[in-house]
C-alpha cells in the first residue's frame, strides 16, 4: 500500500526533514517545500499531497490552492485556526481541517530581545564595529521606563514579566478583562487608550489578528507616542492601519520601531521601505521560528494527521467536509 503523502509547504528553513518523528512511520511520507511561490517542483508536490502540515499562518489555503491539490484530504494547522485557511472552501472541496497548539515562549523571548537590541542601539553599534569604527549611537537602559503591553494574553504576560524583572513599570491596555487581570497581577491599567500611547516608553503589541483588531492601531494612536518611544510588533503587521506606521515614523512619533512582521511575507526586496529606515529594526518573522517551537508545532500537526488517516475524525473542525 503506498504511503500517505504529507506536505509541509513554505518551510523556509527546511525544518521538516530534521524532525525524526515526522519520518518514523513508513505509512506516511512527509516532505518539505520552501517558498511555494519559488519552488520549481511546487506543482508536482501539491498535486500528490494528501495532507498539508502548515507552519502557522504562512500558507494561504483558498480555492486557488485547493484547485492545485486534487488528492488533498486534510489540512493540519500548527497552532490555532487563523485567517489563512478558508474553511468554507475546504468544506466544499471535501478537505477536513484540524488545528494544533503552540508555545508562547519563543515569541515572547523575541519581543524582549528586540526591546533590548533596539533600546541599546545594539545593531548599529555592531555595524559600526564591523566598519572599523568604535562606539556608535548611545542607547538607553530600560530600568525605570514604562513598558506598555497591548493585549495581555499568554505572550503579553510573559513580556510583562520580563519587563518587570528588568525594573520597568508595566502599563496595560486592552479589553476590560485584560485591564482587570493586569491589576490583579500587580500591573497598572492605563486610564484610557490615549494615556496608554502617550505614557509608554516602549509599547509591545500582543493582540490576535481578528476582524475587531485589524487596523485598530491608528495614526492618531501612534502620533501620541513620545519622540524617543519604541514600538515593537511581533504579532501581526495588519494590527496597524495601512500606512500609519510609516507616516508616524516620518513625523518622529514613535522615534523607533522594531518589527518581526510585515503585511506581505516573505520580504525579498532589499529596497523595502521599512528595511531602509534607520529608525526601524527588522527581523524576518522569527517569533516562533525556533527549534523547540518548530518541533512542538509540527509534531502535533503530524500526530493529528495520523489520527485522521487512522479513522479518528473527532478533532475535525468542519465535519461537513466528511460527508
Q: What is the mean pLDDT of residues 100-107?
A: 90
Distance CA 166, CA 302 (A): 39
Residue 94 has pLDDT above 90, yes or no: yes
pLDDT at 176: 92
Assess whether pLDDT exceeds 90 at residue 323: no
Q: Verify whether residue 99 is a known catalytic residue.
A: no
Residues 68, 46 contacting (CB under 8 angstroms):
yes
pLDDT at 101: 84
285 is catalytic: yes
Average pLDDT estimate for 169-194 = 96
**106 within 8 A of 287, measured Cβ to Cβ:** yes
pLDDT band, very low/low/confident/very high, at 182 (cuts 50, 70, 90)? very high
The verdict on whether 315 is a catalytic residue reads no
Q: What is the pLDDT of residues 233-259, one digit of tens each?
A: 999 999 999 999 999 999 999 999 999
Chain segment 152-170, per-residue pLDDT in tens: 999 999 999 999 999 999 9
Q: What is the pLDDT of residue 198?
A: 98
Choose, from 119, 121, 224, 236, the residue flagged as catalytic. Answer: 236
pTM of the model: 0.92
Categorize the per-residue pLDDT at 11 as very low, low, confident or very high, splitting at 50, 70 and 90: very high
Q: Angle formed by the axes of helices 105-119 and 291-309, to 10°?
A: 160
When pLDDT is cut at 50, 70 and 90, the band that residue 56 belongs to is: confident
Task: Decide if pLDDT at 79 tops 90.
Answer: no
List of residues 6+ apart from 57 with CB closer than 8 A: 79, 82, 83, 84
Which residues are CB-contacts of 115 (< 8 A; sequence separation ≥ 6)?
Answer: 142, 147, 163, 202, 204, 230, 232, 258
pLDDT at 193 over 90: yes
Would you state the cell numbers that stand for residue 35, as one nine-digit string? 517558498
pLDDT computed for residue 57 by the predictor: 87
What mean pLDDT is reported for the chain?
A: 95
Give per-residue pLDDT as tens, 280-291: 999 999 999 999
Task: State percent of the chain over pLDDT 70.
Answer: 100
Residue 122's pLDDT band (cuts 50, 70, 90): very high
From the list 58, 119, 206, 285, the catalytic residue is 285
**Average pLDDT rounded to a whole number, residues 69-97:** 94
In degrees and rounded to multiples of 5, residue 76 shows phi and psi of -110, 105
Cell of 38: 519559488
Q: Does the pLDDT of residue 1 top 90, yes or no?
A: no
Q: Which of 238, 265, 290, 299 is catalytic?
A: 265
φ and ψ of 161, to 5 deg: -65, -40
Instruction: Give the single-character DSSP code of 142.
Output: -
| Distance separating alpha carbons of residues 27 and 23, to the nearest angstrom | 10
The per-residue pLDDT for 83 is: 86
- Residue 80's pLDDT is 83
Amino acid at each position: 500500500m503506498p504511503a500517505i503523502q504529507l506536505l509541509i509547504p513554505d518551510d523556509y528553513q527546511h525544518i521538516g526533514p530534521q524532525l525524526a518523528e515526522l519520518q518514523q512511520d513508513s505509512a506516511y511520507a512527509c516532505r518539505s517545500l520552501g517558498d511555494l511561490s519559488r519552488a520549481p517542483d511546487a506543482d508536482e508536490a501539491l498535486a500528490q499531497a494528501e495532507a498539508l502540515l502548515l507552519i502557522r499562518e504562512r500558507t494561504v489555503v483558498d480555492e486557488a490552492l485547493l484547485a492545485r491539490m486534487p488528492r488533498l484530504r486534510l489540512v493540519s494547522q500548527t497552532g490555532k485556526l487563523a485567517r489563512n485557511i478558508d474553511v468554507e472552501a475546504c468544506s466544499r472541496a471535501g478537505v477536513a481541517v484540524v488545528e494544533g497548539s503552540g508555545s508562547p515562549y519563543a515569541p515572547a523571548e523575541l519581543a524582549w530581545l528586540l526591546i533590548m537590541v533596539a533600546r541599546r542601539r545594539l545593531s548599529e553599534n555592531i555595524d559600526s564595529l564591523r566598519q572599523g569604527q568604535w562606539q556608535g549611537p548611545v542607547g538607553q537602559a530600560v530600568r525605570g521606563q514604562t513598558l506598555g503591553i497591548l493585549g495581555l494574553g499568554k505572550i503579553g504576560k510573559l513580556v510583562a514579566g520580563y519587563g518587570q524583572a528588568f525594573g520597568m513599570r508595566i502599563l496595560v491596555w486592552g479589553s476590560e478583562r485584560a485591564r482587570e487581570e493586569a491589576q490583579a497581577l500587580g500591573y497598572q491599567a492605563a486610564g484610557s487608550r490615549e494615556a496608554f500611547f502617550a505614557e509608554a516608553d516602549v509599547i509591545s503589541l500582543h493582540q490576535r489578528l481578528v476582524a475587531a483588531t485589524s487596523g485598530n492601531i491608528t495614526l492618531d494612536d501612534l502620533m501620541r507616542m513620545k519622540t524617543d518611544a519604541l514600538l515593537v510588533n511581533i504579532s501581526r503587521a495588519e494590527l496597524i492601519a495601512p500606512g500609519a506606521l510609516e507616516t508616524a515614523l516620518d513625523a518622529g512619533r514613535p522615534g523607533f520601531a522594531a518589527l518581526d512582521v510585515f503585511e506581505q511575507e516573505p520580504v525579498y526586496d532589499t529596497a523595502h521601505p521599512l528595511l531602509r529606515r534607520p529608525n526601524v529594526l527588522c527581523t524576518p518573522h522569527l517569533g516562533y521560528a525556533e527549534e523547540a517551537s518548530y518541533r512542538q508545532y509540527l509534531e502535533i500537526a503530524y500526530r493529528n494527521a495520523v489520527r485522521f488517516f487512522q479513522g479518528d475524525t473527532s478533532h475535525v473542525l468542519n465535519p461537513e467536509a466528511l460527508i
